[in-house]
Amino acid sequence: MSGEGIIRGETGAQRLIGYVLDVGQSDGRARCHLTVTADHTNRHGMLHGGIVATILDNAMGATGSLSRDPEGRSPFLTISLNTQYLSPARAGEALTATGRITGGGRSLCFVEGELRADEDGRLVATATGVFKPVPAHRQGGKT
């Protein structure tokens, strides 16, 4: 995975967890890619639920961002996030979280997300969330 629309190591959370953000697809959906390592697992050897929520949140927020900025860098805040855990993922598995806008308007964006195992397409988790664009005057001069 390389090229235009790939964001690596941009945030502290991204560097810590090691996911890669893809905002370069033509469908307006951001994707968050993670290969699970032992560092991502809980005491039962499965992907920790907090990391599941984090990568879904990132893919969904970046999808909201793509609705305002074709480079996916317009900041969005998570207002709410509801995550459903459906099947476990273990070390060695490559996963992709994808967001999809389902509604909203000028001040809020409603987004659904899903996390799937790349190898077999297994649905690991789903999420719904509400996201809000950061007003330009709150971005410290950045747009």
Residue 142: predicted pLDDT: 45
Residue 140: predicted pLDDT: 57
Residue 85: predicted pLDDT: 98
- Each residue of 35-67: pLDDT tens digit? 999 999 999 999 999 999 999 999 999 999 999
Amino acid at residue number 50: G
Does residue 1 have a pLDDT over 80? Answer: no
- Each residue of 105-132: pLDDT tens digit? 889 999 999 999 999 999 999 999 999 9
Among the listed residues 37, 15, 42, the one whose alpha carbon sits nearest the alpha carbon of residue 94: 37
- Each residue of 61-102: pLDDT tens digit? 999 999 998 888 889 999 999 999 999 999 999 999 999 999
Kindly state the percentage of the chain with pLDDT values over 90: 85
Sheet containing 123-133: give its strands across: 6-7, 20-22, 31-35, 94-104, 109-117, 123-133, 76-85
Cα(134)–Cα(136) distance, integer angstroms: 6
The mean of the pLDDT values for the chain is 93
Among the listed residues 87, 98, 93, the one whose alpha carbon sits nearest the alpha carbon of residue 62: 98
pLDDT bin (cut points 50, 70, 90) of residue 137 is low
CATH 3.40.50.300 fits 6-138, yes or no: no
Are 132 and 60 in contact by the 8 Å Cβ rule? The answer is no
Does residue 141 have a pLDDT over 70? Answer: no
Among the listed residues 131, 69, 63, 130, the one whose alpha carbon sits nearest the alpha carbon of residue 100: 63
